[in-house]
Structure 1
């Protein structure tokens, strides 16, 4: 994935931008979006079958969250044009969601849905000072971004619809009966509370990854009511 540097955390080169409106989405490379008949739920994992539409059970952040703000009511930043030009005003987006493989690795960021009472495990962090201690209900077979053999960002996203929480790890690797990770964050999906200023999360932006993903049930419903997460090759070091 394309990436950018966060000033206070050398742990990785990654950043997040919220896109409040997408008129079109395409790619200059091979298509990564599967045919509708082949598309599975984007919320996947050992117990996904137990919650066919988890977003209907627990909303992803409150209705008044900035993630759900209507773009027409938001002020335009004075540097908006400069930001867009820096990203590439004429560049096309490269979608990274769906199912299947690209260069032998799974596409997109998978989400593992867990049942109530999922056993919690110990997670040790390289950047413990900016990580939530837990506990983390991460199953041994949780899905890893890029697959178990990935050398990329290796995000692990665990969604607990019963508790209405999401648990997110960066650079996650199984370690004994638990996991080790670069950093980790826990988000209460019923709250608009932000992380401490300057803190990372499982993403350099300090925000939830899960909140900005496109989920199958949204596509099936024909309506996405939140901002989307994208990565860019260059952004502000701020």
Structure 2
């Protein structure tokens, strides 16, 4: 089976750099993946992406060395299995509140005897290789999102879930859950304390800690704090950034 490069990166003691796709389209995903990220996540929760677009985007990411990940829209076994069968090499699952929910998520990602994933890796075996079934349980990644007050309170039980590879922090929802405003790259003391609680729980349990950020500077800070995977930005933000440059050009022309 094709090796999971994220596991190799972590085995070398290095953090992984992830990019995020909110916009549907194979070519935009290919452009993102060709930028040199360690992984690219296709967001089917808040991104504008359906199954057909997700499949095309997984195929596009697979033209590069980037590891294809999918954030599913909810903790639903059928949806999780379809993402894996389409070739996702890891799943990020939102709104995990307790150990039971986390166990259900992980088991949906694993073939028996480790879980209850149904066998039918239609494209996954093309991408992963003919021996996909023999190694999928140990190569594919499972990330539970901690982004609720209940999830934060239960983080130690969640990270103890057998087969869980990591936790991924959703900062906006987590901030809302503890009484703050939504938003990215916050340094609010209460949110930073929650980050530290999650990070320490992950380190104690030997699972990876990932976090969603919106800038290079904040990503660097999170790596220095000890996070194993940081998402630096997304396709929609990069498109807006390019648009702002065009706006600056229009303002310059108008002022001449």
Instruction: Confirm or deny a common fold (TM above 0.5).
Output: no
Of structures 1 and 2, the one scoring higher in RCO (CA 8 A, sep 6+) is 1
Relative to the length of structure 2, the TM-score reads 0.32
Q: TM-score, normalised by structure 1?
A: 0.33
